[in-house]
Amino acid sequence: MTVIYCDVCTLPVEFCEFGKTLKKCKVWLEENDPETFQKLYNTDDQIKSSLSSEREAQISSSLAKMQLKEERKQERELENLKNSKILIKRIPRTKHKHICAIVNLEVLGPDTDLKKMAKFFASKFATGASVSKNAEKKDEIVIQGDVANEVEEYLNNLLAEKGLELKIEHVTERFTNKKK
């Protein structure tokens, strides 16, 4: 068996890794004796496997982070849902006229169609009802008329139907002459 001496570090190629020029040695050996190079370093497999396991670790750690994030998000949403309540605001328009704004109806679930509900209220109370955005940019149903109690009754039934334990809060705003 012939000993191959490395042109870079002058050691037998098996000892290149103990020298300080391994990188250069490998380049030289690969160029001059690919077969021995393959035997010694078996580079392809090594690089591939080390790369893929590194990548795998990366992926699994970012996956774990994502999963954790998603879990926390769901927990938060659940917590929010528990704390959330439907707000029925009784808002005076004049001394004797009120309108009702129902806020936070999204807690009823994603299948809640506010427009449909507004239409339902309109025909139920024979008055105007529409969906509009409030100051917090949230959708609310505004009903013309002093129907807060009736709305609450309806919503309580709906909550019972859906098996949701949500609070409904009543707020009566004071009459001011300021225009909103």
Alpha-carbon gap, residue 16 to 36, rounded angstroms: 12
Q: Which stretch binds Zn ion (CB under 5 A): 17-25, 66-74, 82-90, 165-173?
A: 17-25
Q: Which stretch binds Zn ion (CB under 5 A): 7-15, 42-50, 74-82, 132-140?
A: 7-15
- Examine residue 6 and tell whether it contacts Zn ion (CB under 5 A): yes
Spatial contact of 102 and 92, defined as CB atoms under 8 Å apart: no
- Examine residue 25 and tell whether it contacts Zn ion (CB under 5 A): yes
- Examine residue 142 and tell whether it contacts Zn ion (CB under 5 A): no
Please work out the total of residues on this chain that contact Zn ion, with binding judged by CB under 5 A: 5
Residue with tokens 């849902």: 81
Alpha-carbon gap, residue 154 to 54, rounded angstroms: 58
Q: Which of 4, 16, 51, 57 binds Zn ion (CB under 5 A)?
A: 16
16 or 107, CB closer to Zn ion? 16
Q: Which of 1, 8, 35, 118 binds Zn ion (CB under 5 A)?
A: 8
Q: Which of 9, 86, 105, 143 binds Zn ion (CB under 5 A)?
A: 9
Which tokens hold the place of 144? 């013309």
Q: What is the dihedral of CA 152, 110, 91, 87, to 10 degrees?
A: 60
Instruction: Return the closest-CA partner of residue 105 out of 86, 79, 122, 92.
Output: 86
| Residues engaged in binding Zn ion (CB under 5 A) | 6, 8-9, 16, 25
